Chains A and B, each alone.
Chain A
Amino acid sequence: MADIVQIPTVIPPLPPNWSPKPASGKSVSPLVDRKLIPAGPAYLAHIRRAVHNLSFEEHDKHVEAERKRLVELNGDGTGEDDLGVGDEEEAPELLLLDPKEWKKQDHYAVLGLSHLRYRATPDQIKIAHRKKVLKHHPDKKAGVAGDSNDDAFFKCIQKAMEVLTHPEKRRQFDSVDPYYELLEEDVPTASQIKSAKNPNAAFFSLFAPVFEREARFSRVQPVPLLGKYEDSKAEVEGFYDFWYNFDSWRSFEYLDKEVNEGSDNRDDKRYTEKKNKTERARRKKEDIARLRNLVDVALALDPRIKRIKQEEKEAREAKKKTKASTGPTKAELEEEKKRAEAEAKQKEEEEKVAKAEAKKAKAAAANAAKKARRAAREAEGGAS
């Protein structure tokens, strides 16, 4: 327990004429006998030092070991596992949110999940909600703030939970997450990359996060990401192929204008609905165009395309070169021809010989058969 006491005062400089006094050689005043009350962690530490005869430094180590042992016994030191939700402090403006304007609120920030956003799992959302409710429940605030009716933020929390636990509503909100809407606006530009010290590295460091966050809209998962400079041609082509044919689930229902429920006018409703529909379609179109534009910019700037083209060119040239420099000579060609001709001749002759022999064998066989037949007939005549 080497807790160091911080003294707030600043020590003034030494007087110039001061010199250290020689030690007086005296000891401290006689010690008195006292009886400690056997309680508290400090007493435990004191006893440990006394029983084990440890110095303060040795005891520090012992305490560390003991702490580890207890952590093991307890599972983990903090107790419950919150799946990495953590405790996010609410920004003061967040606490002033109006639950009536729930469409405008950032549901992730309200639940303290702004570090996870679309990556938050349902379990994490549940834990985060519970944490926030424990903190902001109106029952809990009644005594503290004095104003027991201040449950606006609690309502915001409930609304956020409602949106985020409903898969469809959550997708709709994720589509227009205000945090990413802001990010979408600053897409890296050509001049930005060209003016960078190392345009090659700048391309990857600037575009990788852009594609990463766009990837969440893909119906097809996993999504090929930007990758690295050394990627092969197939990989790079696959990447652009995928992104040009990007199948996005992003939709814009969240931004729909409320249909005026109060009015019974059917035409009115239909009109609003129609307007919403066209608006959604327009937004979707814009979004597709935006993504396409983004991929276009990336493709135009991609140093890998340049590299691959360069490599292909080099390969072609190399091929040409090898053809020109290492082709076979005429003499060799003739020799080859001769050899082939000779081989063919030899083969022909061998075939001729084989044919003749076969003829001979056939004739001999026929003779033998004739002889045999004659002999048989004679024997037959003799017998009859």
Chain B
Amino acid sequence: MAVNGSVPNGTAEAPIEVPALPTVIGVNFGNSYASIAEGLPESIANEDGERQIACAIAFHGEETYIGNQAKQQLVKNASNTIVGFRNLLGKKYSELPKDTATASAPVIQHPDITDEPAYKVQVLQASPSPLPSAVNTKTNTPAVSQTATPRSEPVLVDRVLTPSEVTVIFLKSLLQSAEDFLGKKVDGAVITVPSWFADNQLEALRKAAHAAGINVLQLLEDAGAAAVTTTSGPQAAGLNPDRTQLVVDLGASSLSLTLLSIRHGLFHPLASSFDPTIGGDQIDNKLIKFFAKEFTKKTKTPLAVCPSSDKADIRAEARLRLALEHTKRTISASPGAATCSVESLKDGLDFTGTINRMRFDMEARPIYSAVYSKARELVESVGLDFLHVDEVVYVGGSACLPGLDETLAQGYPESTVTAFASGTIVGGGVGDPTTLLARGAALQAKLLAEIGHSGEDEEVRRAFEQGSKWAAVKATSRTIGILFPEEGADAAGLGGQWIGVVPAETAVPVRRSLSFDVDLGDDAGEKKVGFEVWEVKEGIKVEKVKQPRDEDEELEEDEEEDDEIEVKEKTIEKDIHLASLVLTAKHAQKQKGRWRTKLEVQVLLGADGAVEISAWEVGKEGKGEKTSVSVPSL
């Protein structure tokens, strides 16, 4: 009972305090699959419990299917199912390749708009409600309607949809899923886009998102989203904040590789490549062929697939393709064999086949090798070697396959960190390639939502837009570091302890602070710490080493030549001496008969190329006196 202002039962007051920050999500909108996330380690699942939502829309009668349900329609209702529409956004009909055969609704020229691609699907239009009679009669009395009495049954009509209209429908459903999951209205989103999207494509996507009711905070390129995810949160052990990262995005329909230079969370692409001919679909094709052969062997029924021409074969191929999804997931998750079962594959015959990982990798090997050679090409195009790649990040559903990592592992050294090596790929770990982009976009959305709204902040916000002038920066071309001379060090080498401070490809201005312990020897006299600042040349030394062999082995293959393997090593060569710095240690403390102190060195590299190096001791009472030396600007 509501007595004297007490709260009556059933008030609609929010039970928890709602933070003032807006609700934002990240959307990974791929050509084949999409995912949504909201800053949590796991991405958001849609109503059907899918975290990887297929970019497909199917029309069947009065129903519209979106996502993985729509994919199922590819078997029996292929002509009314639309897939792969994202890449057509903003494109003209004349720009599209015409010869591609698809199992889904074909792309046609829009009947009304010139040079506009479109899809034609058949839908049942719901029986129209009785038309209102002509209302605006002069006497305002009911008058006879001019139109014929409408039919009460749904009519089969052709519906023409442009790619951007399809995108609107799809994005709307994503937004709906996110809002249902969060229970809150979504205020904004960051959507990922491939780096090769042209301006008009970006514009088309922006418009479509706007029409779907999404406030686009930023269109972030895929590699950026991947880098945001991998640079935020707890970092894997052995991962330097300054590192070169190779983002391998192997989606269903394309491969894109990006080599990023990550410098304390600030990153820029060194090189990128895109290949629409390599993708998970190619792996699918190989496997479909494999299973079709097995089917023929088992049942003596001919099944010609990839390409298939007969209607029954086309349907069988679509069935296999859907079933393979599950097989691929099983292969990725466990080392054992995976099955592929299709009921009534062709002529009413069921099929169950198994494939183990070795066989699977054998089938997929050509695709893996293609990725490997592409990656090698990319790394070498900027004068680097696989040795310089500190981290490999896998993105996309097909990148979950362990065989891909095994193939690439032949190239890069053991120290390179991958999600496979650190075991974060399965079970929604941080390295899960299927959700990595959506999570990165969500983190970015959160960052953008937190920017204030004052005048200067607006300028900051604009800096996140595509092609902002603020994104253009200068970067160092060589590594700058400090060298602590050491007694008895190899004179031919660097002659001391080398610590790289500002690596090459670091955007300026930059500040780096280092802290370390210094051994000051065992005599009690005046103690000095000194170091030189050098700019160095980095290279790669290739050595051929003879493989040591076991003796009994030697007996067998005596006539064979000795195996030689190449051993690569990074080399550093002193080039330009920038400055030297000496300071007297005053806060040294004796530990086990040696004098020790703690030193902090800060290197400031200005936008004009001027360097300021400062060093101070850190004692118990805090920072000691600061000693600085500077290098003139360019």
Contacts and interface: CB of A to CB of B under 8 A. Distances in A.
Interface of A: 1-16, 18, 20-44, 46-52, 56, 66, 69-70, 73-75, 143
B160 interface: no
Contacts of B581: 20
B513 A51 contact: no
Contacts of A35: 268-269, 471-473
Contact of A31 (B261, B475, B578): B475
Contacts of B228: 39-40
A13 B523 CA distance: 11
A36 B267 contact: yes
Contacts of A30: 477, 609, 634
A56 B517 contact: no
Given A14-B485, A24-B578, A73-B20, A33 B472 contact: yes
Instruction: List the 9 shortest-distance A-B pairs measured between CB atoms, nearest first.
Output: A42-B265, A20-B580, A13-B521, A37-B224, A15-B487, A31-B474, A7-B516, A39-B224, A42-B266
Contacts of A29: 476-478, 535, 576
Given A28-B478, A32-B477, A10 B519 contact: yes
A15 to B, nearest CB: 4
Interface of A is mostly: loop
Interface string B555-587: 000000000000000000000111111100000
25 contacts: A4-B513, A6-B516, A7-B514, A10-B516, A20-B581, A21-B580, A25-B632, A26-B576, A26-B577, A26-B578, A28-B476, A28-B535, A28-B576, A29-B476, A33-B473, A37-B224, A38-B463, A38-B465, A40-B224, A40-B232, A41-B265, A44-B451, A51-B460, A66-B452, A69-B452
Contacts of B497: 9, 11-12
B187 interface: no
Nearest to A21: B580
Contacts of B20: 73-74
B605 interface: yes
Interface stretch (B84-92, B165-173, B275-283, B525-533): B525-533
B124 interface: no
Contacts of A9: 497, 499, 516
Given A5-B241, A10-B517, A11-B519, A46 B472 contact: no
Nearest to A50: B470
A18 B186 CA distance: 64
Contacts of A49: 509
Contacts of B580: 20-23
B520 interface: yes
A74 B450 CA distance: 10
Contacts of B427: 143
Contacts of A7: 499, 514-516
Interface string B467-494: 0101111111110100011111000000
A231 B582 CA distance: 64
B519 A36 contact: no
Contacts of A143: 427
Contact of A12 (B450, B474, B487): B487
B508 interface: yes
B470 A51 contact: yes
Contacts of A40: 224, 227-228, 231-232, 265-267, 444, 447
Contact of A15 (B471, B485, B631): B485
Contacts of A15: 485-488
A35 B535 CA distance: 23
Contacts of A43: 265-267, 464
Contact of A11 (B241, B452, B599): B599
B279 to A, nearest CB: 23
With most chain A CB atoms within 10 A of its CB, the pick from B17, B261, B507, B514 is B507
Interface of B: 17, 19-21, 218, 220-221, 223-225, 227-228, 231-232, 241, 260-261, 264-269, 427, 440, 444, 447, 450-452, 456, 459-460, 463-466, 468, 470-478, 480, 484-488, 496-497, 499, 505, 507-509, 511-521, 528-530, 532, 535, 576-582, 596, 599-600, 604-605, 609-611, 629, 631-634
A224 to B, nearest CB: 38
Nearest to A79: B19
A44 B480 contact: no
A4 to B, nearest CB: 4
A294 to B, nearest CB: 45
Contacts of A13: 487, 518-521
A134 to B, nearest CB: 15
B456 A51 contact: yes
Contacts of A48: 460
B472 A11 contact: no
A10 B518 contact: yes
Contact of B473 (A22, A28, A36): A36
B485 A28 contact: no
A38 B464 contact: yes
A37 B268 contact: yes
A9 B228 CA distance: 30
Contacts of B227: 37, 39-40
A31 B510 CA distance: 13
Contacts of B452: 66, 69
Contact of B633 (A4, A24, A27, A52): A27
Given A24-B577, A27-B631, 12 more contacts: A11-B599, A14-B484, A23-B578, A26-B576, A28-B478, A32-B477, A33-B472, A36-B473, A37-B223, A39-B218, A42-B265, A74-B20
A6 B576 CA distance: 26
Given A38-B224, A38-B465, A20 B265 contact: no
B609 A27 contact: yes
Contact of A14 (B21, B220, B528, B632): B528
A2 B478 contact: no
B444 A5 contact: no
B490 to A, nearest CB: 13
B195 to A, nearest CB: 9
A214 B289 CA distance: 81
Contact of A34 (B218, B466, B474, B535): B474
